[in-house]
Chain A
Amino acid sequence: MTAVAVTLAFPAPARAAEPTGTITGQVSTKAPKLRAGVVVFLDKVPGSFRPPARPVVMDQQGMKFAPHILAVQKGQTVLFNNHDAVRHNIFSPDNEKYNLGTWGQGESKPHTFGTVGVYHQLCNVHPEMGAVIVVLENPFFGVTGEDGTFQIPNVPPGKYTLKTWSEKLPERSETVTVTAGAPTNVHLELVR
């Protein structure tokens, strides 16, 4: 079972006083098990967006990363917790190529992501463990749940390019128009 966060960030409105809309949708795939854990995000949204001050958590528990897929905003901090009685390590061979070291139960280590990209999370003590952190430019993203649904709230009205990132499937891109006060429904079919 792949653990994913349905929506991992609830971004504050870019301009708090302005009305916003919500993008809701469904990702479908030929293999049902691939619907979960797809990151759906808005690409190249004009403006600058301050990352959330509160860190998001990625656990190592029961010899697994939880969640398996995590999306965060550039500049956001991820707190890696170890809940297991065994020691775990965190490293990523991608982009910033960090190794946070190895630590024991109850300890945590933070890492702030300064570069947009896909970061595979590995534990060199337990090669079977793995997770992915997708670092995005803006706060407008969601991650699909087991049923393939997602939600991106607080989106300023406008026309955007909606993109997907999947661990197994190629990117999909689509244009969406968001109107204030109304949900925008999208269906995305991902194929190889």
Chain B
Amino acid sequence: MRASLIGCLLVVAVVLLPAAPAQAIPAFARKYGTSCQTCHVVYPKLTPFGEAFRRNGFKFPGRDEDYIKQEMVPLGQDAYRSVFPNAVWPGVVPTSPPLALGFNGFVGFHPDKSSAAAQADNGSRLTLGSLIEEAHLWAGGSFSEHISYFGELTFADGGAEIEHAELHFNDLVSAQHLVNVYVGKGAPTLTSFGAHSSYIADAIMPTLSVTALYGTASGSFNVLGQYNLVEVNGMANGRFIYSVGATSGENIDARTAENVHGHLGFKLGGMRLDGEGDTTGNAEKPWAETALTVDVFGYHSVSRYTNAGLMMDLSDRANVLGANARGTGGSFEINAGVYQEWHDHATATGGAVKALAEYEELSYIVFPWLVPAVRLEWASLLPDGGSRITDLKILAGAAALVRPNLKLTLVGQVEHADGAPEGGWGAAGGSAAPTAASVTELESIQLGVAFAF
């Protein structure tokens, strides 16, 4: 079935899909006086160096201060460290606010007016209503050698949301990068790569909000969710990476924090995970390397939500196990991953369910500004005592830079669903709503636009 759908899509192959929200941080470009291309291919996708910068708590490998070109105002000379506690520990602020703005949205086209996605848009063929859909205000920088920060406010029709308000306390032991503490609001670290490491989708791992799939209108836990958290993470020998932490989770009222997560990974070949050592790499193709990275993660969550079927509040306990892998060979890259969730009270009748999410994304950097990619996302729900229902999405498209900070994407999405949960597949990124046993539809072709400055 999947093979035939891929073939079908390749025929459709106008290739290009929807624009992911911009995640580049021009504030860092200003701080270091460097181009977006130092860290990004087509943003928000990061180069190996950019990933190392992110993992290091938004700091360059080696001595970060050597690379800062923006003039900084010292909030106390370094020598005040020797006077502490009789003086405030010194820090710095940049001479201009460490802020950046970005906007993104898309033009939607529904070739099939009867598709579920077209029906959701009132049967429209072409929609311009989401051309600019989101605005982002980012902040990024460092308070001192060991403390950095990253923030993101996202504005959309629904209002404003704090997506990230992160403090990173870096290099807390003498071995560089071994022990860091990350606190604030953000996504827990479940892989070695940035959450938005996709050319044609919003996130590298597909979302799966199980209680929302079963219709809850209250918040629904998912492993990509941004929560208040405390996390210890680090890297050893530049090849091994770990994280362990606790998050506030998703609750409709105040609850004891019971959500915990952990992650282990390693990288063979290519640039070290921390970017230390020889970072020369391929001077002409800074994204190119021969490497394999494998990650496993676990997540335990207890969330309080309003069950749509029972019209009452329930506690849903979820245990999640997952794995991700990235293989890179020159300009080719393949990402794949899977995670399974075991919920005890998530269905519309308050029952248990096993949920599975799987993805693969293959991309090739044709030019530094043009990257075609194909992506598969598969979601499955198997309720206790019930039948399995599934949703397969195939995205094909390309991301292109008009300028380093102006991006276009063109992405087509085909979807095949065998059944649908009470809340539809929207909470897994799908649109299909089969009235019969199954349906296959070309849902949309989206021309995305994103820019940041």
Contacts and interface: CB of A to CB of B under 8 A. Distances in A.
A174 interface: no
Contact of A130 (B63, B79, B87): B79
User: What's the interface size class on A, roughly?
Assistant: 10 to 19
B73 interface: yes
Nearest to B90: A127
B76 interface: yes
B8 interface: no
6 contacts: A93-B82, A93-B83, A127-B88, A127-B90, A128-B73, A128-B77
B367 interface: no
Contacts of B62: 192
Given A93-B79, A120-B77, A120-B79, A127 B87 contact: yes
Interface string B110-125: 0000000000000000
A127 B67 contact: no
Nearest to A1: B71
B66 interface: yes
B68 to A, nearest CB: 9
Nearest to B80: A127
Given A120-B77, A120-B79, 6 more contacts: A33-B66, A93-B79, A127-B75, A127-B80, A128-B75, A130-B77
Interface of A: 30-31, 33-34, 93-94, 120, 122, 124, 127-130, 168, 192
Nearest to A130: B77
A192 B79 contact: no
Nearest to A192: B63
A122 B79 contact: yes
B78 A130 contact: yes
A43 B74 CA distance: 33
B176 to A, nearest CB: 12
A171 B77 CA distance: 21
Contact of B82 (A31, A94, A124, A127): A94
B358 to A, nearest CB: 44
Nearest to A123: B77
Interface in B76-107: 76-80, 82-83, 87-88, 90
A34 B77 contact: no
A128 B76 contact: yes
Contacts of A120: 77, 79, 82
A33 B207 CA distance: 45
A152 to B, nearest CB: 27
A130 B90 CA distance: 12
A30 B74 contact: no
Contacts of A129: 77
A122 B66 contact: no
Contacts of B83: 93, 122
Nearest to B63: A192
A71 to B, nearest CB: 17
A168 B67 CA distance: 13
Query: Which among B62, B75, B78, B80 has the greatest number of chain A C-beta atoms within 10 A?
Result: B80
A168 B62 CA distance: 13
